[in-house]
Amino acid sequence: MPKKDKSQTPKKTFKSFMLKTLFKRLPIIIGFALFFMILSFKILERFPEPLKQGIAEYFTLNTPYVAEIETLDRINFFPSLYVGISNMILREKDNVAITHLEMEKAKIHVPFLTKFTHAREVYDLGIIGLKADAGIMTPQAIEIETLGFVDSLDQGSSLSNLIIAGSYAEQPMRFTADVTKKKTLFGNKVYKFENVMPFTFDIAGVSLSGNFVYLYDKMAIQNAVISVADNQFNLKDSFIVENQQLVTDNPIYCLLGHDFKAETTLCTQYIDTKTQE
């Protein structure tokens, strides 16, 4: 009968000891890492001027424009991410006298873990007084008077709306999307973009309504209807996001590119002739 090789026993014992020690101390290691990360965030929050310059530089490096931010109203990294700015301007790099975008105020407030969990939840979101030339954000010039969440008048209702009011291509514009309002464990109000999100988009007497549908890394428009004067047309389903990239072959982008002052047919290529009477 062959003898057991006892020379491996100490190695196995040491390996087992190290693994047990690691697992026992792992929570402590993670705790220290989180502590120093939070401490770093809190230190950064005390120096808003470099952060303001960093945000402006980010826009300057990633766009063809020079970004200026007058005031960083507030910034927090933990326990939630909050960024609020006032008076942002985008100028032409070759001629800073030319202004392409102006925005009076903007804010975003999201849970800290959203970055890691990819949850579509927001504490707050707002824009006031944005003006952008054609081609900067949208095919034609856009003005956003207000963007934000509006709660239902029914205090017991979980339904709220994300509303954008302003003008597009010098025509009245209003966008409304349904979101769900709920309370977190700590009593904070949070808005969630559900997997199916009804919306209505009105420009110059043209109304587009339907559902935004989230499909993992895609976002689709389904069950859409476009209304012009007294006529309604059912539209084919289409995507607005695929592989985390914006898609331009859809009725929303078509509507944004439409010349509302000219008498031309409106996005007829998206009409679902199979369901249309």
**Residue partners of 230: CB distance under 8 A and separation at least 6:** none
pLDDT confidence tier of residue 9, bands split at 50, 70 and 90: low
Overall pTM > 0.85 = no
Round to whole Å and give the CA distance between 198 and 213: 9
Tell whether the model's pLDDT for residue 233 goes beyond 50.
Answer: yes
Domain ranges of the chain: 47-194, 197-277
Round to whole Å and give the CA distance between 117 and 104: 31
- pLDDT per position as a tens digit, 95-148: 989 999 999 999 999 887 766 667 789 999 999 999 999 999 999 999 999 999
* Overall average pLDDT of the 17-33 stretch: 49
User: 27-31, 32-36, 91-95 — which one is most confidently predicted on average?
Assistant: 91-95
pLDDT confidence tier of residue 263, bands split at 50, 70 and 90: low
Count of C-beta atoms within a 10 Å radius of residue 52? 18
Tell whether the model's pLDDT for residue 66 goes beyond 80.
Answer: yes
Q: Which of 76-90, 113-127, 137-151, 240-254 comes out lowest in average pLDDT?
A: 113-127
